[in-house]
Structure 1
């Protein structure tokens, strides 16, 4: 079975073709500023451009849509749904296209996959573990403001894929495991994985939890209210203070973690303090997830781009190794995770979910 995976980003596209679970090729395309400007303000134009670009990537590698057995796209912002593979139907496409639950580049993943499916003669089309996966327990949704319940927005695709792989290495089924998974990158999310479900997790998109390379994480609400009504800042400026120009980058002016660690080894006291704080906050969130799991944890898993830093992982391990074994699974392979999710359905291991509107 040839499975085509697509992962749209804000300024480009990643794609890969697999034969079952063996990758045939992968490609990352960066769009020019001219291409981005041409589509600005017109979601219809952007959708068509991204679809055309996806087909061109296939052709570049000597493949066509007629060869495909299935297509899978990175899921976008939808109503809260459970994990796994979801069939891309008209109801899902309508919610993605209207941006009913928010605007994000990943919304185009499902839309492009659906178009390719139709072009190929209605082959199966899926999304897998989108950021809106919500398996949180009822009590975990409750906040101190009835009209602002806690929302589940996290790195579901990578967290679940990594948990599944670690379970396999342990010789267990995911339904038998209790993990704490910390995805550490541009955003940081820490999930309590209980027998295949993420029963609690911090909201990594402008929500709460640890700071990250460029996101603020939890801040004092009263101080944030004061900033909002000071008359000094626009809404956009406040948004950038929370996501984009916050976190480690706001403190020390860099998002390049390797260079940041080099600065620490060269004696940069401030850089050391901020990275210590980053590790401290991630470790504290891991500790919270241990409470969610009643202290019964098979492993603490560190993943995402920042898990490539032994320096950071060691700082976190020093604080949380009392909870359980700490396993580092650096980086992320979202294209493979998408394919694995689709393959589970195509091979009969799992059933795909069917999306319905609220």
Structure 2
């Protein structure tokens, strides 16, 4: 693998294939696979990721916002795309781009039906979301008659699926709550099947749900974070491969004498002679200030180098005392030598926030093993 010569996020498509195949192996053959690629493919490269997932056999894609779905269409993705959090302002664009909206309240369902009728649509596919305990988006169990009445009063739309979202599927201490969510969802679906006279697909499992609740796979599952190499617990993390490695280089080396300071607000004062390296990456790139002042570090030529002082917008400084390195050498922030979960924990956060926060100004490079 060529050494980095600038700040880059390497995205390993073979690791993505490994993760997809591992998660797919947990499913029965007839269960569909929805790949969640919102937030630029969890901070990676959404077009490259999506094309690889099509090649691997993904049945569906999911994004958060309409603009993300349009970007996939413009990248040549023809598979069905669910928009998880559409806004009524975007409903015409959804139809124009053959996207499929999640409709989660009386207001958005009525508004989409109105738009679909104005556009002379016939059985346009929509996905009805139910709130079974996450209390974020979704119709309540008490609103099933609202859903039935609105769907049966028009031919412009037709429910393609009913779905819900598990709140704590990775936490065995919350198993009773998760089983309650699954039971409630099943009850809602059975009632609506009878009322509507047809059976939309059902899906409730996220990555942790796929692994921990196989009886709740229903017709389709949704996997996001697992595809990118994170299983939400140590045993499954070991079976997955993080697809992203964030790399940068050593820009300049300095030597601080005892008593000299470094960086903004003189946050680091050398207690002894200290050798430092300045790296071209900072909080504008997604390595936020919470990682500074020794809380996190990077790897240079196999050795750990803690961050010194405050993280700057475009730079961080690290302690390379005792490390054999020179200007231009490659630096690994997370990936090959330091798991992103471990790096994130040092900043008191989670891998989701770290990887999705890598700025779009960081160059993405698709690689294979």
What TM-score do the two structures reach when normalised by structure 1?
Answer: 0.26
What TM-score do the two structures reach when normalised by structure 2?
Answer: 0.25
Q: Larger relative contact order (C-alpha < 8 A, sep ≥ 6)? A: 2
**Greater helix content:** 1
**Greater strand content:** 2
